Amino acid sequence: TERTLVLVKPDAVARGLTGEILARIERKGLRLVALELRHVSAEVAAEHYAEHVERPFYGSLIEFITSGPVVAAVLAGPRAVAAFRQLAGGTDPVAKAETGSIRGDFGLEVQENLVHGSDSVESAKREIDIWFPALG
């Protein structure tokens, strides 16, 4: 079994889509092992998105992810990393995400794309350490 770190981003929380997104996760068969509403500090945002520090959209991304509460979760299950990436859809909700995915069904913009999911088992370990250090 595998673990992955998921964020319901501020746009999705503000739009009242948290329940819908968690329902899709549960229907897929992924198990919730941690779940918490969090106000994101600048420090946690910077750690989480460290890989994007050189990107032109970095400042905007940090501003967005700290703009309101997120719901942070750890999911567990077989191939959990890939399974959640499939549920989420591609990064761009219109150009990449398919209808039927979270981003494809609910998103219009590349930044406000509703959810984050770890992109590898290694990233998941790093991100779970940031968001839920007690989980180890």
The binding site for ATP consists of 9, 57, 85, 91, 103, 113
22 contributes a contact to ligand GTP by CB under 6 A: no
Q: With the C-alpha atoms ordered 118, 122, 124, 130, is the resulting torsion angle positive or negative?
A: negative
44 contributes a contact to ligand GTP by CB under 6 A: no
CB 88 within 8 A of CB 97: yes
Q: Which of 35, 82, 110, 121 is close enough to bind ligand GTP by CB under 6 A?
A: 110
* Alpha carbon distances (Å) from 90 to 1, 44, 117: 24, 24, 11
Q: What residues contact 95, with CB distance under 8 A and at least 6 apart? A: none
60 contributes a contact to ligand GTP by CB under 6 A: yes
Most distant CA pair in the chain, distance: 38
Determine whether 27 is exposed, middle or buried from the number of CB atoms within 10 Å of its CB (0-12, 13-18, 19+): exposed
Instruction: Please choose which of ligand GTP, Mg ion, none residue 42 contacts, taking the beta carbon within 5 to 8 angstroms, the exact cut-off set by kind.
Output: none
Cα 135 from Cα 67, distance rounded (Å): 26
Q: Which of 61, 82, 121, 130 is close enough to bind ligand GTP by CB under 6 A?
A: 61
Q: Which of 37, 57, 59, 63 is close enough to bind ligand GTP by CB under 6 A?
A: 57
116 contributes a contact to ligand GTP by CB under 6 A: yes
48 contributes a contact to ligand GTP by CB under 6 A: no
Question: Which residues are near ligand GTP by CB under 6 A?
Answer: 57, 60-61, 91, 110-111, 113, 116-117, 119
Q: Which residues are catalytic?
A: 116
Question: Which residues are near Mg ion by CB under 5 A?
Answer: 119
